[in-house]
């Protein structure tokens, strides 16, 4: 490969090399800063295009590829790229939903299928996985990532990279993966997309960067840079982050790609006076590929001529692009994946659908159940109501660019198919997703997924209540439209939109058992629902087979097993909220008690609040409504004592085993996700109260008991100290550590161990 690329580079002019760094946009430009798609053929002939979005039919892609390999100066093939975020034509649950499976192997399998389908549609590089740790449910892009925890997200980072890239990138069912958005994008202030992020190197290394490090260790081919600024420096211009940390410290030698028009946006950020300066800043920071700005093409030649950028640096960036194309087999087979017959055979197969159904069921989280679920089939009448009960175009969730709504079953269809002749389903819409036509228009930006009903909210509610009156149980499918989450979809209110809550209140008043199936791309604030519904199944957006999978769960054909990968707040005002909080100087568990009515009552009846602790919350508790790791099923699991095989560890290699027994005391077989957390109560830095360190999923038959063991080494106890982003120091500090094992981040058994450095 090296000789081939050396030879090619020797023959290329500076302009040819810069052409390889240019990745123009096609189709509608949504930001106004992109280069036009116009005249793409001429540009390809001139060697000005390194890659393109694969967002159009195979015939056109094949024609463009032929143009590149037959008529561009060095016959270099184009790199076709696309957002393949949670499946391609077969749509899997949103990444945040998949994360609730706590099942990296499942995610690896979904990624393999996504890669096979995308590759068969001409895609060579997928803009995924998104690895931004997200702790603020207002941020719409939390849907695209794997939740709030760095370890869990890291496990999925590896799974997706391995699933996409396979053993060999040149295989016809592999695509190159791209870890994004480097780094810290998920911590945008107030959850407002594109907003500034100002976090310390300490938090970056302990929270934000671990999933990216895992992706790099797994061999990810590309990294996309975040839109945002990090402590005043836009990531696109962040030399310390890109060159210092990613290239030099971590040794990443794959592609570094800007986000869409992000190089041009350096002018808006206010760090570049003009396009040329933006090109200079981005390139010298380490960005190889200019996605859609067209600025490299226009300005790098002059910057080299002026001596501000060394020609050797252009060579190095171009070499990385050529290497990626070589590894993908594009030089030997430029038309890879551009074959209509292969595409049909590889797409939406029964096997893919089966996996989609399995994944959709494993991604759902049963938040609450007072026994009303699973629903009885025989002879029952079920009122299936709510704006998402029969909403085909909303089943796939955001960022499903190749989805065809007609492929998806709705919940109504799934329920009818599962029930057959054994019972009756009555259906009413009950409410619009939103009632405000302006909001509806925004939510239908990428094509209409729902329409506002002609009837008034009152009429719709009355119809649903009438249905409920004739039923034995009510299943209300409520939540968001698919575009409520995703890019630039920030919410300031995390309740159910529009008149949906009013619908639920009216249904509740009927006195019929009330089951909620909630669909959303983010955690919602469901305090009222928690108090009044008999059961809540959080189904996220589950993709092509979601309707069937939800029916599988509601009727108990599958036992729910998902657990939350992101905390559910009580209200938007609590955001950001996550389980791995710092103890602070006034820890709630030591000084205040975080429950309603938690003031001490003196003998004379006076209520005394502890100043600055319990008294500092004026509305509601500080804790989340449903914590990270929470999720129940139709079985019950009893946890035994936490047992350690020894009390202390010494040095780096020593292993201590912590074991807990878990017994299925329910009547159904079930899966339980057992979680290990570690806390470091005294260290040179204030460490989070607890951090997830390992997890295991066990399947238990009724009455079966299993000892679940975790091996703990110094690697689980350490953390990063970092004053500078590019100079992290990984340390393990001697002392006591708290080991906790249990069913969620708030239901745990604890023990203490000691670690000492080797003598």
Residues labelled as active-site residues: 259
Which lies closer to ligand BGC via its Cβ, residue 82 or residue 367?
A: 82
Provide the minimum distance between the beta carbon of 437 and ligand BGC in the complex, in angstroms, as a whole number: 26
Rounded to the nearest 5 degrees, what angle is found at the Cα of 338, between the Cα atoms of 333 and 340? 140
Helix-then-strand count for the chain, H and E: 22, 28
Burial class (CB in 10 A: 0-12, 13-18, 19+), 437: exposed
Which lies closer to ligand BGC via its Cβ, residue 83 or residue 529?
A: 83
Rounded to the nearest 5 degrees, what angle is found at the Cα of 469, between the Cα atoms of 468 and 472? 70
Q: How far apart are CA 241 and CA 234, in angstroms?
A: 10
Provide the minimum distance between the beta carbon of 153 and ligand BGC in the complex, in angstroms, as a whole number: 16
Q: Tokens in use for 589? A: 């568990």
Continuous segment of H or E residues that includes residue 210:
helix 210-217
Provide the minimum distance between the beta carbon of 115 and ligand BGC in the complex, in angstroms, as a whole number: 16
Which lies closer to ligand BGC via its Cβ, residue 130 or residue 516?
A: 130
Provide the minimum distance between the beta carbon of 538 and ligand BGC in the complex, in angstroms, as a whole number: 25
Tell me which residues touch ligand BGC (CB under 6 A).
83, 127, 180, 259-260, 487
Which lies closer to ligand BGC via its Cβ, residue 92 or residue 127?
A: 127
Closest CA to 669 of 548, 563, 538, 558: 558
Which lies closer to ligand BGC via its Cβ, residue 102 or residue 127?
A: 127
Query: DSSP readout, 168-197?
Result: -TTSTT--B-EEEEETTGGG-GGG-TT--B
Q: Tokens in use for 447? A: 């094509």
Closest CA to 68 of 20, 26, 1: 20
Provide the minimum distance between the beta carbon of 224 and ligand BGC in the complex, in angstroms, as a whole number: 6
Query: DSSP readout, 517-558?
Result: EEE-SS----HHHHHH-SEEEE-----TTHHHHHHHHHTTSS
Which lies closer to ligand BGC via its Cβ, residue 260 or residue 755?
A: 260
Contact call for residues 138 and 524 (beta carbons, < 8 A)? no
Which lies closer to ligand BGC via its Cβ, residue 140 or residue 210?
A: 140
Provide the minimum distance between the beta carbon of 508 and ligand BGC in the complex, in angstroms, as a whole number: 40
SS3 assignment, position 70 = helix
The residue whose Cβ lies closest to ligand BGC is 127
Closest CA to 746 of 569, 623, 639, 568: 623
Provide the minimum distance between the beta carbon of 321 and ligand BGC in the complex, in angstroms, as a whole number: 17
Residues 6+ apart with CB under 8 A from 178: 81, 125, 126, 127, 128, 220, 221, 222, 223, 224, 255, 257
Q: How far apart are CA 402 and CA 606, in angstroms?
A: 63
């Amino acid at each position: 490969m090296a000789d081939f690329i050396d030879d090619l580079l020797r023959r290329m002019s500076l302009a040819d090399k810069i052409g390889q760094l240019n990745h123009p946009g096609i189709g509608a430009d949504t930001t106004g800063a992109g280069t036009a798609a116009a005249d793409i053929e001429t540009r390809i002939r001139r060697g000005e295009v390194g890659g393109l979005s694969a967002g159009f039919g195979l015939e056109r892609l094949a024609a463009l590829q032929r143009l590149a390999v037959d008529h561009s100066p060095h016959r270099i093939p184009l790199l076709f790229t696309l957002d393949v975020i949670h499946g391609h034509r077969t749509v899997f649950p949103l990444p945040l939903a998949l994360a609730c499976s706590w099942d990296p192997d499942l995610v690896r399998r979904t990624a393999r299928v996504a890669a096979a389908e995308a590759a068969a549609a001409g895609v060579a590089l997928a803009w995924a996985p998104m690895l931004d740790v997200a702790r603020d449910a207002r941020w719409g892009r939390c849907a695209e990532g794997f939740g709030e925890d760095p370890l869990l997200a890291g496990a999925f980072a590896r799974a997706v990279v391995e699933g996409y890239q396979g053993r060999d990138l040149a295989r016809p069912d592999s695509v190159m993966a791209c870890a994004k958005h480097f780094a810290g994008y998920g911590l945008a202030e107030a959850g407002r997309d594109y907003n500034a992020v100002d976090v310390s190197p300490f938090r970056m290394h302990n929270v934000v960067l671990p999933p990216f490090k895992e992706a790099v260790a797994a061999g990810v081919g590309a990294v996309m840079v975040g839109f945002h600024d990090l402590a005043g420096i836009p990531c696109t211009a962040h030399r310390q982050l890109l060159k210092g940390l990613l290239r030099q410290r971590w040794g990443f030698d794959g592609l570094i790609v800007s986000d869409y028009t992000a190089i041009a946006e350096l002018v808006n950020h206010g760090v570049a006076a003009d396009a040329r300066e933006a090109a200079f800043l981005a390139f010298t920071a380490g960005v190889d590929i200019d996605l859609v700005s067209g600025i490299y093409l226009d300005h790098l030649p002059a910057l080299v001529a002026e001596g501000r950028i060394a020609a050797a640096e252009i060579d190095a960036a171009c070499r990385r692009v050529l290497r990626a194309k070589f590894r993908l087999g594009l030089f030997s087979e430029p038309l890879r994946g551009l074959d209509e017959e292969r595409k049909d055979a590889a797409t939406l197969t029964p096997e893919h659908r089966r996996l989609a159904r399995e994944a959709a069921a494993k991604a759902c989280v049963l938040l609450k159940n007072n026994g009303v679920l699973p629903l009885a089939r025989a002879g029952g009448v079920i009122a299936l109501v709510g704006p998402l009960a029969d909403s085909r175009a909303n089943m796939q969730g955001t960022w499903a660019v190749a989805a065809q709504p007609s492929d998806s079953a709705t919940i109504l269809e799934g329920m009818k198919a599962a029930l057959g002749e054994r019972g009756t389903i009555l259906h009413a819409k009950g409410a619009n997703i939103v009632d405000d036509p302006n909001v509806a228009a925004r939510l239908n930006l990428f094509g209409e997924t729902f329409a506002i009903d002609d009837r008034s909210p009152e009429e719709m509610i009355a119809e649903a209540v009438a249905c409920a009156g004739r039923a034995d149980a009510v299943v209300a499918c409520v939540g968001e439209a698919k575009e409520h989450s995703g890019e630039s979809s920030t919410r300031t209110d995390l309740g159910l939109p529009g008149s949906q809550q009013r619908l639920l209140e009216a249904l509740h008043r009927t006195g019929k058992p009330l089951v909620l199936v909630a669909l959303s791309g983010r955690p919602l604030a469901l305090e009222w629902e928690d108090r009044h519904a008999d059961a809540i199944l959080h189904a996220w957006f589950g993709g092509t087979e979601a309707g069937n999978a939800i029916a599988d769960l509601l009727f108990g054909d599958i036992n729910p097993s998902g657990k939350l990968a992101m905390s559910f707040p009580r209200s938007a005002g609590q955001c950001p909220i996550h389980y791995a909080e710092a103890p602070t100087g006034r820890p709630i568990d030591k000084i205040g008690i975080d429950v309603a009515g938690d003031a001490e009552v003196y003998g004379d009846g006076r209520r005394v609040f502890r100043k600055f602790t319990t008294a500092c919350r004026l509305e509601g508790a500080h804790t989340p409504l449903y914590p990270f790791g929470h999720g129940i099923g139709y079985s019950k699991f009893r946890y035994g004592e936490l047992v350690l095989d020894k009390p202390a560890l010494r040095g780096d290699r020593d292993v201590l085993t912590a074991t807990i027994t878990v017994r299925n005391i329910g009547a159904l077989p079930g899966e339980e996700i057992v979680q290990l957390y570690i806390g470091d109560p005294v260290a040179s830095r204030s460490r989070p109260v607890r951090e997830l360190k390992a997890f295991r999923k066990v399947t238990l038959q009724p009455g079966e008991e299993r000892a679940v063991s975790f091996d703990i080494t110094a690697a689980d106890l350490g953390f990063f100290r970092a004053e500078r982003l590019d100079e992290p120091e990984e340390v393990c500090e001697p002392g006591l550590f708290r080991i906790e094992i249990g069913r969620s981040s708030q239901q745990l058994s604890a023990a203490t161990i000691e670690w000492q450095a080797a003598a």
